Structure 1
């Protein structure tokens, strides 16, 4: 399966940054595989780091929108029946459902940093008919640091970019923790300042 995906992505490389956007628009194409490869292309001088990050972030926003649409217009019965064809398992949908019920619309941001729900979290957002612009904004803001992180690792590892997937989780958790804590502190700061002003 990985070989087929890499062949598909390699075919899209001829379209440069647009190809990178297109590759990540398909949710069955794992970003953990594509983005380090993009980093390797940066390492080889075929792409600019920041343009690769921008293209990856845009593609990483379009992709979840497809699952959002499936959740919004197809609903759970549709996903239970056809989800397996796009590599979505029932237990993943259940986990995303529970996470959404617990944390609300903010999961469109926070869920992107958590293994096991980062892909399927789009589905309950769609089923709950979350505002599509808010969903897209949360997803874009979350995907920006994630994309920058994976592309950077692919560039850093160079010819060994394939090992990024296996090593990424040990890097991802501290990075995610810093980002999430920073966002929470920023929100608390804004709320506190608003209260003091009123």
Structure 2
């Protein structure tokens, strides 16, 4: 299966940055595979780092938007029926529901950092009819640092780009939790400044 996905992503490379966006729009294509590969293309000189990160971040929002739409317009029955085509299981949906009940709209941001919730978190956001612009903003803010890390790792690893996922698994908490805390601090600070 992974070999087929790699072939698909390689074929999309011909579309330049749009190819990266499209590859990430399909939720069955793991970002953990696409983004380091895009970093490798930067290493080869086919792309620039900032462009690959931007394309990856945009694709990282469009993919979740498909699941958001599925939740918003189809509700739970449609999600249960068609979620499997997006690699979303009943267990993912239940975890995401509980996460959404606990954290509300902020789940569109925080959920991106939680394995097992990351992909399916868009569905309860859609079912709750969360404001779409807020959903997009939270998702983009969460996806940007994750995307940057994966693309940068692929770039630094060069021909060994496929090791990026393994490295991220080992160090994800040390890297992503501080990033999440910084973003939370910035959002809280901005809100306080608005109230003054």
Aligned-pair CA distance for 1:194 = 5.6
Post-superposition Cα deviations, 1:28-66, rounded to whole Å, max 9, x if no partner, equal 111000000000111111110000000111111111000
1:80-95 alignment, distance < 5 Å: 80-95=80-95
Count of equivalent residues? 196
Find the counterpart in structure 2 of residue 4 from structure 1. Answer: 4
Superposed CA deviations along residues 121-147 of structure 1, whole A, max 9, x for unmatched, are 000000000011110111111111111
Alpha-carbon shift at residue 84 of structure 1 (Å)? 1.5
Could you tell me the TM-score, scaled by structure 1's length? 0.94
Q: TM-score, normalised by structure 2?
A: 0.95
> What residue is the counterpart of 1:123 in the other structure?
123
Residue 193 (structure 1) shift: 4.8
Over aligned residue pairs, what C-alpha RMSD do you find?
Answer: 1.3
Gaps of 5+ in 2: none
User: Given the superposition, is the C-alpha separation of residues 193 and 85 from structure 1 closer, same or farther in structure 2, using an over 3 Å criterion?
Assistant: closer
2:141 paired residue number: 141
2: CA distance, partners of 1:194 / 1:63: 32
Q: Deviations over 1:160-189 (max 9, x none)?
A: 111111221222212211112112322443
CA deviation vs aligned residue, 1:55-94 (integer Å, no higher than 9, x gap): 1111111110000000001111111122222211110111
Cα distance in 2 for partners of 1:12, 1:174 equals: 33
Which residue of structure 1 lines up, in the alignment, with residue 75 of structure 2?
A: 75
Q: Which runs of 5+ in 1 are unaligned?
A: none
C-alpha distance in 1, partners of 2:59/2:192?
A: 36
1:1-198 aligned within 5 A? 1-193=1-193, 197=196
Residues 28 and 85, structure 2, Cα contact 8 Å, conserved in 1: no
